[in-house]
Each structure stands twice: as C-alpha cells, then as structure tokens.
C-alpha cells in the first residue's frame, strides 16, 4: 500500500519540516500579536491604507471567521482578514494584512506567477482530488495506464505548489516595502514583521517539498510495477 511501502521514509524529514513550520507560524503569530504596531492601526486600516496608496480603491476588505484564514480573492477583488487580524492593531495584524494586500497589488500589476497560478487552479484542483484515487485503482487492479494518469494529475498539483512559492515570497516583499512607509518605525518592529512573514513562507516551502516527495513516491511505486 502507498502509505506503508518502503518509500515512506522519504516523507519523514518533510513531515518534520512541516510540523516545525506550522509551529513557527503559530508561535510567531501569537508572540507578535502581543505587540501593538507604532502606527496603532488595525489590520483593516493597514490594508485600506496600502490599497489606497496603490490606487486600488475598488478592492474591498472584509472580516472572515477562523484563525489565520486570511486571503485575497482576485475574482471578487476582496481582501478577507480573520477577525483578530481585521480588528487587531498588533505587529502580526499589520504583517498579515499587508501580505494579503500584496496579492491584490500583484493582481493589479498582472504579476506573471500570480496569473499563471490563477489559470491552473482548476487543473490543480482536479489533480489534487483525482490523482491518488486513480493511482490506487491502477495499482490495485494492475492498470499501469491509470497509474500514469494519476501521476500526471499529481504533477499538475505539484506545479501549482511550485508557482505558489514566488507568489507568496513576492507578496511578503511587497508587504515589507509598504509597511516601511509609515506603519512600522523601528528595528524591533521590522524584526517582528519579518519573523511573521518568514514563518508563513516556510509553510509553503514545506508544502511544496511534501508534494515533491509524494510525486517521487508515486513514480518509484509505478516503476516497481513495470
């Protein structure tokens, strides 16, 4: 079986990294949630300030339920911020709000990796949902062609992870540049912003490595059935 074959050892270091990244995100988020930003602006106010500064008056901001559920929807042109980020005036709130606005700026400027990511979302979703079932059916019933289709579908999902990396890192770079314009004022705040944003970026690295290792596992298992 896929989950218990010998290739599972390849997952161990990636699982450790993923666990570390998740804990780092939560730890830094909670730590810098305790410190107010010098501008004393809530996440919603930070987002609105940066959007207006970049001429994105048509992009809306709304609160959403959950923790760290923040995201930007390019179809609706809406920055959605979790309640603690939306109404909080912490360093964490400013950092995460600015990052999501970074995606809105990317969208407005037709940032190529974001355009590519948006275009392959439907394919990636199909790949994520269908790859393993197709591969398992092919494995169980000795249908190599079906296993190959499963691998191709998962490769599409992996491509989505690859394209996501520059999108997320670029959004964080934009966030830092914007925050340095009148929202954070000292080295300590800048250190906090970087800690929050870098921890979040590490989760995307871990997710990409996880997808890569699983793709390698599928190919190895397929090769063993040749």
Q: Alpha-carbon distance 88 to 47, whole Å?
A: 12
Average pLDDT of the chain, as a whole number = 95
Q: Has residue 50 got a pLDDT over 60?
A: yes
Residues 82, 30 contacting (CB under 8 angstroms)? no
User: How far from 205 is each of 17, 164, 198, CA to CA, in Å?
Assistant: 9, 9, 11
Tell me the average pLDDT across 23-48. Answer: 97
Tell me the average pLDDT across 87-111. Answer: 98
Q: State the catalytic residues.
A: 100
**Cβ neighbours, 10 Å, residue 60:** 16
Terminal CA-CA length for the chain: 16
* Whole-number pLDDT of residue 5: 75
The band of 1, judged by pLDDT with boundaries at 50, 70 and 90, is very low
Note every long-range contact of 66-72, with CB atoms under 8 Å and residues 24 or more positions apart, other chains counting. 68/25, 68/26, 68/29, 68/96, 70/96, 70/97, 70/99, 70/100, 71/100, 71/103, 72/100, 72/101, 72/103, 72/104, 72/107
Q: What is the pLDDT of residues 133-181, one digit of tens each?
A: 999 999 999 999 999 999 999 999 999 999 999 999 999 999 999 999 9
* Whole-number pLDDT of residue 4: 62
Q: Alpha-carbon distance 200 to 98, whole Å?
A: 13
42: left (phi over 0), alpha (psi -120 to 50) or beta: beta
Tell me the average pLDDT across 21-29. Answer: 97
């Amino acid at each position: 079986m896929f989950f218990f074959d010998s290739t599972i050892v390849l997952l161990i270091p990636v699982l450790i990294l993923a666990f570390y990244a998740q804990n780092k995100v939560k730890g830094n988020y909670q730590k810098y949630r305790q410190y107010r930003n010098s501008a004393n602006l809530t996440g919603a106010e930070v987002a609105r300030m940066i959007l207006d500064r970049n001429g994105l008056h048509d992009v809306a901001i709304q609160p959403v339920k959950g923790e760290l559920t923040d995201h930007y929807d390019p179809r609706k042109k809406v920055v959605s911020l979790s309640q603690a980020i939306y109404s909080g005036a912490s360093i964490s709130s400013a950092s995460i709000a600015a990052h999501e606005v970074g995606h809105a700026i990317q969208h407005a400027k037709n940032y190529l990796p974001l355009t590519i990511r948006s275009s392959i979302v439907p394919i990636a979703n199909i790949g994520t949902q269908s790859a393993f079932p197709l591969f398992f059916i092919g494995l169980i019933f000795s249908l190599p062609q079906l296993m190959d289709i499963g691998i191709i579908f998962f490769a599409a999902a992996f491509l989505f992870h690859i394209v996501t990396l520059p999108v997320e890192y670029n959004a964080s770079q934009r966030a830092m540049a914007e925050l340095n314009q009148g929202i954070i004022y000292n080295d300590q705040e800048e250190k906090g912003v970087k800690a929050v944003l870098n921890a979040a970026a590490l989760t995307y690295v871990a997710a990409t490595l996880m997808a890569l290792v699983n793709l390698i596992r599928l190919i190895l298992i397929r090769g063993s059935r040749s």
